[in-house]
């Protein structure tokens, strides 16, 4: 129960903090990688279940790539934070 509350708070609060978008994106990368290693342990499965877990695992890794691009490039022109 506590883990669900913490996860919901992180997923809701960090993206809203558009004033520190680069730090929020880096924080989400750390969070997503941690939850990915906990939730999608494809190496423990076999057959079709392993394929499904592997697809979810690598989909989440791709999401981290998008967050990394966001943390490098910073906020867009419609962000609450002005570009330097």
**pLDDT single digits (tens) 28-37:** 899 899 989 9
Domain ranges (residues) in the chain: 2-73
| Rounded Cα gap, residues 13 and 46, in angstroms | 36
26 in Cβ contact with 74 (< 8 Å): no
Q: What is the mean pLDDT of the chain?
A: 83
pTM attached to this predicted model: 0.71
- Count of C-beta atoms within a 10 Å radius of residue 30: 12
């Amino acid at each position: 129960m506590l883990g669900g509350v913490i996860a919901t708070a992180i997923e809701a609060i960090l993206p809203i903090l558009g004033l520190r978008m680069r730090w929020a994106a880096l924080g989400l990368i750390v969070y997503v990688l941690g939850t990915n290693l906990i939730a999608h342990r494809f190496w423990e499965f076999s057959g079709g279940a392993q394929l499904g877990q592997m697809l979810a695992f690598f989909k989440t890794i791709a999401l981290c790539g998008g967050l990394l691009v966001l943390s490098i490039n910073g906020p867009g022109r419609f962000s609450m934070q002005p570009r330097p």
